């Protein structure tokens, strides 16, 4: 049947009776691509065929200038003189930009106002604070001309002491503790008393290194001048509203004079949250000053030298425990290497503290965090936002307790888990005084323990190690409990805009950004589900500040939670209008207007969705709506270090088996079993990709991605030739990933799903613990190794030699 029509038979029969010209058979089918469907990423085919358009793929307008940013060659120095006359006179140069050219505020920072776009050219604040800091920019006809011209600059420096390492930063802070940011402390229970009463105690230190984001698409911005000194900025950013605000304050204009848009990023991982504002500001300044479009696209070396990394953290611990491995008290001290400016370090260091407990109830705990200034690039957001660093500390404690007590590390972990929500026990309380009321970690770990055959494999590893003098195996099963929400409460909001056109097609826009993680696909699935139409009827459009204002960054794993709910609300508003129209038009109660697969049932009749929309348009029903969502019930009081910073927790666990060569320190991940909780998955295919990708990226951070600065503050690992990221060959041949089938969010999220962007990253801690286990075996269990991250082959070999007493 080609068409089903509803006729109003008012007057011809009983009032309000709705009849069909022909009654169709009962429909059982679901919409294509709705919620819970393992639907492909909307740009997946474009990604692999090269058809996906990124900022650099957009055609350049005639007259576009190419911008090169010149960088400081000193880690900490006063600029005594800067002569740019030859730069300005060089062939092809149109304008040279310094701090003197900025009409508004010389700052691109996200919070604290301490990130100058360029340092002043003279005066007491003419200071550079890391090698790679932008000092001026050249806009020329070609990028080559801009680069060559920048080399003609004559800059005279007066060197100052530079703090590069933890030790130098501590010395520079002095006894008064003049850190970059004030310290913060979380506390629960009487730690000193509990430590004193505990029958056993371990003390130690673990350091975790930084990590470069290594997004495939580097930092880029393209600014187009408009009339009235307005500007359009195409920026590869996770935070369009922040870029908009920073460009506007730099130009000294209202936010409405700046529009920021992007369709997609080639990766972000947090590195495009605060950092892109610099490049957007520089190109916007060039565009406004010259009246010509301007583009700045960093090459890989400049990108790695100029932009922030994951924070390095040193964790000292003192932990008291019982005979069975249960922790009585934990005292943790975090030293966080922030770089030269504040950036997002306050919130990142806080989140490291929030996750210092991971999945374990600590009856008494004290966590002290210091945020140190170093004369290196300002560290910034990275997947997990400090949480992974905090978790490494407590997982090292679990391994250490197991070693000292002669227990299996998994048994020690299980003895300390937060109580399950359905166990009948009182909920555990975190060090920041939040009750953990949704814990499922014990049940999930039990399931993974069985499916991974952990106990039998533990015995097999022991047997292998007893017979193998050179190669040693290690095995570890570690949990993840990760809080979901921005810990800065006001950021937990999102907006969306939905249009339904009169042919029944849908236009979707929201404040989230797509960086390859599948956010756009998931939010489109939510809208399709709400209207009960096939996914291909929903058009995904570029993020723009002109449509949805005042958005938060796509970060904190909250993209689907926030934007999905906002889009759902917008769609629901339009849906309610259609229901009202149909109920009135066809004289049926509202509850008898039901949206089904691509059709609407009205009483005993049916109508195609597109036909109902067309009718509503003719009846002058609004088919456009905004939607808004604010996460309920989240708060954190930093003064008392207490509150509910997270709406819920995501859980997971991984079991990893490694083998090391004790002669070289080389190792291989042989097998990994992963069980992860995503609640009721919005899209199992995308979620599986996020779990695998997060695990591999986390493994890279903990085992091979090493950042190294020399004593002059120069980053020496600034290209793929010197900085190693995981490749397909580092993926274990035996990788078994499952989404936990029992998962369901106990909080009211979009279709009871859970965030999946960041939590899987920390599953890789199981690899780090497995390497620790293998090194213990190399020393025949005589000593616990001092193994820091990244556990490179050099570090593994050194740890082996240490435990063997060599």
pLDDT tens per residue, range 705-744: 999 999 999 999 999 999 999 999 999 999 999 999 999 9
Question: Do 138 and 221 have their domain in common?
Answer: yes
Average pLDDT on 602-627 reads: 98
Question: Do 610 and 529 have their domain in common?
Answer: yes
Query: In this structure, what DSSP letter does residue 253 have?
Result: S
Query: In this structure, what DSSP letter does residue 257 have?
Result: G
- For residue 10, pLDDT beyond 70: no
Per-residue pLDDT reduced to its tens digit, 359-380: 999 999 999 999 999 999 999 9
Question: Do 247 and 375 have their domain in common?
Answer: no
Count, residues in the chain: 806
State the DSSP string of 106-156. S---SSSS---SS--SSSTT-EE-STT-EEEEEEESSHHHHHHHHTT-EEE
Catalytic residues: 758
3-state secondary structure 312-336: EEEEEEEEEECCCCCEEEEEEEEEE
Residue 222 CB contacts under 8 Å (≥ 6 apart), including other chains: 55, 58, 60, 64, 233, 234, 235, 283, 293, 294, 295, 296
Question: Do 445 and 550 have their domain in common?
Answer: no
Q: Pick the closest to residue 270 from 561, 530, 557, 34 (CA basis).
A: 557
What pLDDT is stored for residue 175 in this prediction?
83
Residue 598 CB contacts under 8 Å (≥ 6 apart), including other chains: 31, 532, 533, 534, 608, 609
Question: Do 150 and 48 have their domain in common?
Answer: no
- For residue 346, pLDDT beyond 50: yes
Q: How far is CA 154 from CA 79, 475, 546, in A?
A: 11, 57, 42
Whether 186 is covered by a domain: the verdict is no
- CA 31, 37, 41, 46 dihedral sign is negative
Q: Is 372 helix (H, G, I), strand (E, B) or coil?
A: strand
Average pLDDT on 280-287 reads: 98
Of 607, 630, 653, the one marking the end of a domain is 630
Question: Do 411 and 513 have their domain in common?
Answer: no
Secondary structure E strands in 446-561: 471-484, 493-500, 506-510, 538-540, 543-544
Q: How far is CA 82 from CA 14, 87, 156, in A?
A: 90, 11, 6
Q: Pick the closest to residue 749 from 561, 572, 568 (CA basis).
A: 561
Q: In terms of C-beta density within 10 A (0-12 exposed, 13-18 middle, 19 or more buried), how is residue 577 classed? A: middle
Whether 168 is covered by a domain: the verdict is no
Question: Do 523 and 650 have their domain in common?
Answer: no
Question: Do 470 and 553 have their domain in common?
Answer: no
- For residue 147, pLDDT beyond 90: yes
Q: Report the CATH number at residue 508.
A: 3.30.365.10
Of 591, 612, 630, the one marking the end of a domain is 630
Q: Which domain holds residue 529?
A: 3-55+493-630
- For residue 448, pLDDT beyond 80: yes
Question: Do 259 and 219 have their domain in common?
Answer: yes
pTM comes to: 0.95
Q: Helix, strand, coil shares of the chain as percentages rounded to 5?
A: 30, 25, 40
CB 223 within 8 A of CB 56: no
Question: Do 331 and 290 have their domain in common?
Answer: no
Whether 535 is covered by a domain: the verdict is yes
Of 284, 306, 328, the one marking the end of a domain is 306
CB 315 within 8 A of CB 334: yes
- For residue 759, pLDDT beyond 70: yes
- For residue 689, pLDDT beyond 60: yes
Whether 425 is covered by a domain: the verdict is yes
Whether 208 is covered by a domain: the verdict is no
What pLDDT is stored for residue 29 in this prediction?
79
Q: Pick the closest to residue 234 from 407, 475, 60 (CA basis).
A: 60
What's the whole-number average pLDDT of the chain?
95
Whether 201 is covered by a domain: the verdict is no
Whether 182 is covered by a domain: the verdict is no
Q: How far is CA 362 from CA 187, 329, 358, 365, in A?
A: 10, 6, 10, 6
- For residue 26, pLDDT beyond 60: no
Whether 183 is covered by a domain: the verdict is no
Question: Do 521 and 574 have their domain in common?
Answer: yes
Question: Do 257 and 128 have their domain in common?
Answer: yes
- For residue 651, pLDDT beyond 60: yes
> How many domains are contained in the chain?
3
Distance of CA 290 to the CA centre of its chain: 36
Per-residue pLDDT reduced to its tens digit, 423-432: 999 999 999 9
- For residue 473, pLDDT beyond 80: yes
């Amino acid at each position: 049947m080609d068409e089903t029509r509803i006729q109003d038979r008012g007057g011809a029969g009983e009032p309000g009776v709705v009849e069909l010209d022909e009654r169709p058979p009962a429909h059982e089918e679901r919409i294509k691509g709705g919620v819970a469907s393992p639907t492909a990423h909307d740009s997946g085919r474009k990604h692999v065929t090269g058809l996906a358009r990124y900022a650099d793929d957009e055609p350049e307008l005639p007259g576009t200038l190419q911008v090169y940013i010149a960088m400081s060659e000193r880690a900490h120095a006063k600029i005594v003189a800067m002569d740019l006359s030859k730069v300005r006179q060089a062939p092809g140069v149109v304008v040279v930009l310094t701090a003197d050219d900025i009409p508004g505020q010389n700052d691109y920072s996200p919070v604290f106002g301490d990130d100058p776009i360029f340092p002043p050219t003279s005066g007491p604040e003419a200071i550079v604070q890391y090698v790679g800091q932008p000092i001026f920019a050249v806009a020329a006809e070609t990028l080559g001309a801009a680069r060559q011209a920048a080399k003609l600059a004559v800059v005279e420096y007066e060197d100052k002491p530079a703090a590069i390492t933890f030790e130098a930063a501590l010395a520079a802070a002095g006894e008064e503790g003049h850190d970059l940011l004030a310290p913060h402390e979380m506390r629960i229970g009487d730690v000193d008393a509990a430590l004193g009463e505990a029958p056993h105690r371990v003390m130690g230190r673990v350091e975790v290194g930084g990590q470069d984001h290594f997004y495939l698409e580097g930092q880029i911005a393209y600014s187009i001048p408009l009339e009235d000194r307005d500007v359009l900025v195409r920026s590869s950013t996770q935070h369009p509203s922040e870029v908009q605000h920073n460009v506007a304050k730099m130009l000294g204009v209202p936010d409405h004079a700046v529009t920021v848009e992007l369709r997609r990023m080639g990766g972000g991982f947090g590195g495009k949250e605060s950092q892109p504002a610099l490049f957007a500001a520089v190109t916007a300044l060039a565009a406004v000053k010259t009246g010509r479009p301007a583009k700045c696209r960093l090459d890989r070396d400049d990108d790695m030298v100029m932009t922030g990394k994951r924070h390095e953290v040193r964790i000292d611990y003192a932990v008291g425990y019982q005979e069975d491995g249960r922790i009585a008290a934990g005292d943790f001290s975090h030293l966080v290497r922030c770089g030269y400016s504040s950036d997002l370090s306050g919130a990142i260091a806080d989140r490291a503290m929030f996750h210092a407990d991971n999945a374990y109830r600590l009856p008494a705990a004290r966590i002290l965090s210091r945020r140190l200034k170093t004369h290196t690039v300002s560290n910034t957001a990275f997947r997990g936002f400090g949480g992974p660093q905090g978790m490494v500390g407590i997982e090292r404690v679990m391994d250490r307790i197991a070693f000292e007590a002669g227990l299996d590390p998994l048994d020690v972990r299980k003895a300390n888990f937060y109580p399950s929500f359905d166990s009948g026990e009182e909920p555990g309380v975190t060090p920041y005084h939040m009750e953990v009321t949704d814990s499922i970690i014990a049940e999930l770990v039990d399931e993974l323990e069985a499916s991974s055959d952990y106990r039998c494999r533990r015995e097999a590893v022991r047997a292998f190690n007893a017979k193998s003098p050179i190669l040693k195996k290690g095995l570890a099963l570690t949990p993840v409990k990760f809080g979901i929400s921005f810990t800065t409460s006001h950021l937990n909001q999102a907006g969306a805009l939905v249009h339904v056109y009169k042919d029944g097609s849908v236009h979707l826009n929201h404040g989230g950004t797509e960086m390859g993680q599948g956010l756009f696909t998931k939010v489109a699935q939510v809208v399709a589900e709400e209207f009960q139409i096939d996914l291909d009827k929903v058009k995904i459009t570029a993020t723009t500040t002109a449509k949805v204002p005042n958005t938060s960054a796509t970060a904190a794993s909250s993209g689907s939670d926030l934007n999905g709910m906002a889009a759902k609300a917008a769609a629901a508003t339009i849906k309610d209008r259609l229901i009202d129209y149909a109920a009135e038009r066809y004289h049926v109660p509202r509850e008898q207007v039901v949206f089904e697969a691509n059709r609407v049932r009205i009483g005993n009749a049916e109508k195609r969705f597109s036909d109902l929309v067309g009718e509503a348009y003719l009846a002058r029903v609004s088919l456009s709506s905004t939607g808004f969502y604010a996460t309920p019930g989240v708060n954190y009081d930093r003064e008392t270090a207490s509150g509910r910073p997270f709406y819920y927790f995501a859980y997971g666990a991984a079991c990893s088996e490694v083998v090391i060569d004790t002669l070289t320190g080389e190792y291989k991940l042989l097998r990994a079993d992963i069980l992860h909780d995503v609640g009721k998955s919005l899209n199992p295919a995308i979620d599986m990709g996020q779990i695998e990708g997060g695990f591999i990226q986390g493994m890279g951070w903990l085992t091979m991605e090493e950042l190294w600065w020399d004593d002059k503050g120069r980053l020496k690992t600034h290209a793929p030739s010197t900085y190693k990221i995981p490749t397909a060959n580092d993926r274990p041949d035996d990788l078994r990933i499952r989404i936990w089938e029992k998962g369901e969010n106990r909080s009211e999220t979009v279709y009871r799903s859970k965030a999946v962007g960041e939590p899987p990253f920390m599953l890789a801690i199981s690899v780090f613990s497995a390497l620790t286990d293998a090194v213990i075996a190399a020393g025949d269990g005589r000593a616990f190794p001092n193994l820091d991250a990244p556990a490179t082959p050099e570090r593994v070999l050194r740890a082996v030699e240490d435990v063997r007493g060599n």
